[in-house]
Amino acid sequence: MAIDDLIQDATRRMDKSVEAAHAEFTTLRTGRASPALLDRVQIDYYGQQTPLKQLATINAPEPRLITIQPFDPNSVAQIERAIQESDLGLTPSNDGKLIRLPIPQLTEERRKDLVKVVRGLAEEGKVAVRNVRRDVMHHLKELVDKGEVGSDEEHRAEERVQKLTDDHVHKIDELLKRKEAEIMEV
């Protein structure tokens, strides 16, 4: 039956929206060192934009330090420059082979700014989930208009889609709450 396919597709797409929001959250800097902070950093490697994690081993040996060990020692300068030009606000230092990235304590003001950013990312995730709902509702209407589905079935399917939407929005809210607590933790 087409309704079950629609709902399965909606579930899959909403799950992806939640995962995407979570992935975005991990790239935001809290007071703690995490290799995921560098996920968005791209390096100009021989004229090609390449993700940093493909060019180096990234570790967090201490709570306030990230180390970057480039596979090609000649790329140290490019990696350093890319980190400085990124929106992370971090200052790398190197000894020719290893790049050290100390993670400073966040100021109260910076924490509040990060909370605003996280809320924006969460809202984008919720909008994506609601767009999936709107899409499914539109397809349900089409099925009713074609006469393939009765209005009772449509009504039940709409309730299922709404419940699905609420569940996924709730998941994003939970992720948001955790990330806010992590950012505000001193």
Q: For 66-104, how does the pLDDT look when each residue is reduced to its tens digit (9 = 90+)? A: 999 999 888 888 889 888 888 777 889 988 889 999 888
Decide if pLDDT at 30 tops 80: no
Residue 103 is predicted with a pLDDT of: 84
Instruction: Give percent above pLDDT 90 in the chain.
Output: 42
Cα distances (Å, whole numbers) of residue 32 to 36, 74, 105, 133: 11, 29, 8, 36
CATH 1.10.3720.10 fits 2-26+107-184, yes or no: no
Residues 127 and 120: their CA atoms lie apart, in Å, by: 11
Decide if pLDDT at 57 tops 80: yes
Residue 184, H or E segment = helix 151-184
25-29, 51-55, 131-135 — which is least confidently predicted? 25-29
What mean pLDDT is reported for the chain? 89
Residue 173 is predicted with a pLDDT of: 96
Residues 29 and 37: their CA atoms lie apart, in Å, by: 6
Return the amino acid letter for 21: A
Q: For the chain, where are the E strands, in sequence order?
A: 42-45, 48-51, 56-62, 65-70, 93-94, 99-102
CATH fold group of domain 35-102: Gyrase A; domain 2 (3.30.1360)
| Domain limits, CATH 3.30.1360.40, in the chain | 35-102
Decide if pLDDT at 5 tops 60: yes
Decide if pLDDT at 3 tops 80: yes
- pLDDT band (50, 70, 90) for residue 58: very high
Cα distances (Å, whole numbers) of residue 139 to 5, 136, 143, 165: 11, 5, 6, 16
- pLDDT band (50, 70, 90) for residue 1: low
Of 34 and 65, more confident: 65
Which residues touch 104 (CB under 8 Å, ≥6 apart)? 64, 90
Residues 132 and 143: their CA atoms lie apart, in Å, by: 17
Residue carrying the six token digits 């809290």: 30
pTM: 0.72
Helix, strand, coil percentages in the chain from 3-state DSSP, rounded to 5: 65, 15, 20
Listed residue (34, 28, 24, 43) closest to 64, CA to CA: 34
| Domain limits, CATH 1.10.132.20, in the chain | 2-26+107-184
Bridge partners for 62 per DSSP: 65
Backbone dihedral region for residue 105 (phi beyond 0: left; psi -120 to 50: alpha; all else: beta):
beta
Decide if pLDDT at 186 tops 70: no
Angle at 101 between CA 25 and CA 180, to 5 degrees: 25
